[in-house]
Amino acid sequence: MSTQDCLFCRIVAGEIPADVVHETEHTLAFRDIHPQAPTHVLVVPREHHADAAALAAARPELVAELVSAAARVAASAGHPDDYRLVFNTGAGAGQTVFHTHLHVLGGRSLDWPPG
């Protein structure tokens, strides 16, 4: 997939609207269009990497920046101590957009194991 065809690259570029809740020089956070919890935000790197493993191999410091941005999103949503972070890597794990994204979920009890 080229970055021109990537949904999240197009959101980062401003070509597709999103409900942005936080941004930094290297990250963008926006509400999931199919929320699974009262707070369900996706944090993405502004540069394209297909999945969390590819991002970690190429830019491990950016993984840390995604997690820091996710913590700020959770805190601003009122869940500074109780939230879940999820990377889905690969279609078999539920990844549907092949641009690294970190799900931030909070605002309700999150059972384990997830469904």
CA angle 55, 95, 98 (to 5 degrees): 50
Burial degree of 73 (CB within 10 A; 0-12, 13-18, 19+) = buried
Q: Give the C-alpha separation, 61 to 55, whole Å.
A: 9
Residue type, 77: A
Q: Give the C-alpha separation, 65 to 63, whole Å.
A: 5
Yes or no: say if 84 and 101 are a contact pair by the CB < 8 Å rule.
no
Based on the residue annotation, tell me whether 34 is a catalytic residue of this protein.
no
Pick the catalytic residue: 48, 79, 99, 101? 101
Catalytic site positions: 101
